[in-house]
Structure 1
Amino acid sequence: MIIVTGGSGQAGRACLKDLIAHGHEVCSVDLAPPADPSIRHSRVDLTDYGQTIAAFSAIDDRVSSQVTGIVHLAAIRAPGLAPNHVIFETNTVSTYNVFEAARQLKIRNIVWASSETVLGLPFANPPPYVPVDEEYPGRPETAYSLSKLMGEEMAKQFCRWDPETKIFGLRLSNVMDPERYAEFPGFDDDPRKRNWNLWAYIDARDAAQAIRLAFDSKLTGADVFVIANADGVMSQPNDALLDAVYPGVPHKRAFGPNETLLSIEKARRVLGYEPRHSWRDHKAG
């Protein structure tokens, strides 16, 4: 069984659906129930370590078989949704509790949602180069981003303590459901509407694919991966966007006119990730 924390969120809903479609047994652990009432769910406050380790151990008919891994998506999901100290405390403590409960129970397969914000979002100042990738050190600009960077640092130490453990952090871009794609053409009149994350996004279904691929990976240790769609949200070509907002920013490598500027090359190479969805296909259909 795979426990998915935060199963009621955007990425969580898609993740549960994808895991079930690929034959996995799942249970959603969250303060809110998942949208699909057929999915097993238990209400757990992950900021309480006792509740966390109890939930990962057994919950009657909800968690009744051996837990093989954790997908940790639960968090206050963006800056500004609570006071800064509440976001930092909630996200950092809950992530610690998930990692520590898994360690004590010898659950060694963990995939969790880090964030694109660790890369320095919002890009009020130009990024150091484009496309931005995992080689760029974390540059948190908010309490939310700092909480995610703390999770990445904790993962390294947990895997040092137990080298058989895998903790992969996915730096998910702005998660989008297909229903939002009708908004995208409205971004074109002003490049600054979406420059805060270099015009990137991630279809929830592709986020779910990346989570499953990370979970199925036989690698061990702590690692992080940028997860975005293959294209950006704008119809305008990248060169025009960069000239308008970030003139002179260095190009680390050549890239296509509409290619994502949050590099997914590492996820492609290591996980076999390949985005299958695009707002352009949805628009055309």
Structure 2
Amino acid sequence: MRGWAATVQVASPLAGRRVLVTGAVGRIGSVATGHLSELGALVTALTIVEDSSLKADRVVIGDTRSEDDVAEALADVEFVVHLAALAHRDAGTPYDVYTGNVISTFNVLAQAGALGIKRAVIASSINAYGVPMNPHGPLPAYFPLDENIPSDVADWYSLSKQNDENTARMAWRHWGIDVVAFRFPHVNSADVLTRQAEHVREDPAFGVREGWSYLDTRDAAYAIELGLTAPLSGAHKFFVAAPTTNAPYETEALLDAFAPGVPRLRRFVGREVPIDLTAVRTVLGFQARYELDLPTDRLET
């Protein structure tokens, strides 16, 4: 995994300010909690399970579906990072996945908005446009994927993420809370992403509907930081990913082989990820700092 050189650190606007992180023990939540704490933020962690290693100065053991638990966690909070979710279609029953996700997001944003909290970041998903988990196997309407791509939802997890984005817009319109929703791809540690890349080497068709995208957990935490501090207003959704794919093949060759009939709005250079990252780069100033260091091999099909 290749990372950029460290840059000179300046005081974060989050220093000394209280941030609520829900799902703080999760894959992204634990890294984001540590990152925000290192920036000097005062972190309240809302988690359904205990974890003594959690880097937060205040921990609330509770459920994001509970009005009382969320109200307790929101005490003195200025910023919200809502990551708690059942993060896959098969993480529970269809009822539990859908209702748990949408109720949690509504509960957190509604209470935060009513309290006058001005900014929230929520975890949406690349699955919000429906295609990656669609059991009928459709391909995207075009490449690169972007925030306006047509959706084709046929599973309850993708529907929950799409409706989380709708909830964010409603909360902004009703209470004036600015919300940034990140359409995260597969997010994991460098070691796990490297192992996944080996799987993609053997089965390059895997991941075509997600554009072979990925993101290091450290970059997810960095994106969350920018989502909390960028000068913006409204409800925004952003695709966010590393700029390269997790496949050791040229993107054009992958698309020729596995999505030959899908229109391409532009050509792709080398292993460039076929997702348009213009919005997250220009609005938030985000650019991933950790990439998979893979060779570019010849694709044999």
Give per-residue Cα distances to partners, 1:25-44, cap 9 Å, x unaligned.
11210102346245332111
* Cα distance in 2, alignment partners of residues 151 and 186 from structure 1: 31
**1:28 partnered with 2:17:** no
Residue 172 (structure 1) aligns with: 184
- In structure 2, distance between residues paired with 1:232 and 1:139: 23
Aligned mates of 1:52, 1:90 — CA distance in 2: 14
Match of 1:121, as an amino acid?
P
Deviation for aligned residue 1:55: 2.1
Contact persistence 1:200–1:228 (CA under 8 A): yes
1:122 is aligned to 2:122: no
- The share of aligned pairs that are identical, in percent, is 29
Q: TM-score, normalised by structure 1?
A: 0.91
Superposed displacement of residue 184, structure 1: 1.4
Aligned ranges for residues 144-159 of structure 1 at < 5 Å? 144-159=157-172
Q: Which residue of 253, 256, 260 corresponds with 1:243?
A: 256
Moved more, 29-38 or 137-146: 29-38
Partner of 2:87: 77
Q: What one-letter code is carried by the residue in structure 2 that aligns with 1:77?
A: A
Residue 74 of structure 2 is aligned to residue 56 of structure 1: yes
CA distance in 1, matches of 2:52, 2:265: 42
Structure 2 distance, partners of 1:276, 1:114, is 21
Tell me, yes or no, if structure 1 residue 96 matches structure 2 residue 106.
Answer: yes
> What secondary structure sits across from 2:267 in the alignment?
coil
Across the aligned residues of Structure 1 and Structure 2, the Cα RMSD in angstroms comes to: 1.7
Question: Deviation at 1:11?
Answer: 0.7
* 1:1-285 mapped onto 2 (5 Å cutoff): 1-34=18-51, 36-40=53-57, 41-57=59-75, 66-119=76-129, 120-122=131-133, 124-163=137-176, 165-180=177-192, 181-280=194-293
| Cα 1:37–1:128 shift into 2, 3 Å | closer
Asked if the contact 1:174/1:200 (under 8 Å) is kept, the reply is yes
Gaps of 5+ in 1: 58-65
Change (3 A) 1:179 1:35: farther
Paired with 1:82 and 1:257, the residues of 2 have a C-alpha distance of 39
* Distance in 2 between residues matched to 1:53 and 1:139, nearest whole Å: 35
For 2:9, the equivalent position in structure 1 comes to: none
Superposition deviation, residue 262 in structure 1? 2.4
Report the count of equivalent residues: 273
Equivalent position SS for 1:280: coil
Number of the residue aligned with 1:61: none
The answer for unaligned runs of 5 or more in structure 2 is 1-17, 295-301
* Cα deviation 1:25-82 (Å, max 9, x = unaligned): 112101023462453321111111122122212xxxxxxxx31110000000111111
1: CA distance, partners of 2:50 / 2:258: 42
What's the secondary structure of 1:192's corresponding residue?
coil
